[in-house]
Amino acid sequence: MKIAVVGATGLVGGEILEVLEERNLQFDELYLVASARSAGTKKIFKGKEYTIITLEDAVLLKPDFAIFSAGGSTSLEWAPKFAEVGTTVVDNSSAWRMSPDHKLIVPEINADQLTADDKIIANPNCSTIQMVVALAPLRERFGIKRIVVSTYQSVTGSGKAAVDQMMNERNGLVGEMCYPHRIDMNALPHIDVFQENGYTKEEMKMINETKKIFSDDTIAITTTTVRIPTMGGHSEAINVEFKEDFELAEVRQILGNTEGIILQDDPSKNLYPMPLTAHKKDEVFVGRLRRDEGQPNTLNMWVVADNLRKGAATNAVQIVEYLQKQMRSV
């Protein structure tokens, strides 16, 4: 089994390597792939030194799997080239997510859609992943009519340049600006570019991807995405209207018994999800569960996950794990 990590020198690429090591994914060969300017540099994985190679070289090596975290334009150009030589690509960019010809996968929800013919598989947006993981078991039980979500997203979602901007500002240094405004001691209701309808691209990603993952265009969804000066994970305030009424005790039981979700919901002990405690964790954390007293059948919840982990690297590696199991069972 040969695996390539494309974008291995970036924030998500580094996280993918950590997840591969922690989950002890089995492979015979590992190829670390990045841009031409990084080619030839060295990176350590599991105590072994690897040389960074180019995309051109990686295609010729015909890996079985390639996990891409190198941006949309790179994915659009190179994912088909890998697919042509038989590689299964799991792509972290937005390039293929809404393509009708490609699957958008969160393993806990819809991995059973995958077949051997799927050579380019899309990893959803980080904010979408944690929301649908938290909502999926409740949707199975009560059905979902409408979702109102506001996100509070870590600067790590914008990459190293954003982290550098925040830390420079925090330390009184002048440096390059990733955002149009100061981010430290601030909040920006502006993630990705604004669309003609007044929403940002990030907000529309959450709306459209959720419907695709759940295979349900009837769900009404509205979003506001906000960048805040934190690291470690994205947080979401979710107001969800179910088709049926619920009891909070059953909601807690469902969430507490769902693999991949950790319930942290004890306000009397100040226990609730936070980016600080979700950092470097693979699970989705859920808390602040309470009924919306102004509307029937409606629940408020607070959902936090490490955006570089379950929001990107972990989800991608879980897709590869699922496909490996399918291959072994054939």
Helix 126-142 and helix 248-256, axial crossing angle in degrees, nearest 10? 120
Q: Which residues are catalytic?
A: 126, 234
Which tokens hold the place of 278? 């979700």
3-state secondary structure the chain: CEEEEECCCCHHHHHHHHHHHHHCCCCCEEEEECCCCCCCCEEEECCEEEECECHHHHHHCCCCEEEECCCHHHHHHHHHHHHHCCCEEEECCCCCCCCCCCCECCHHHHHHHCCCCCCEEECCCHHHHHHHHHHHHHHHHHCEEEEEEEEEECHHHHCHHHHHHHHHHHCCCCCCCCCCCCCCCCCECCCCCECCCCCEHHHHHHHHHHHHHHCCCCCEEEEEEEECCCCCCEEEEEEEEECCCCCHHHHHHHHHCCCCEEECCEHHHCECCCHHHHCCCCCEEEEEEEECCCCCCEEEEEEEECCCHHHHHHHHHHHHHHHHHHHHHC
Q: Are 233 and 304 in contact (CB under 8 A)?
A: yes
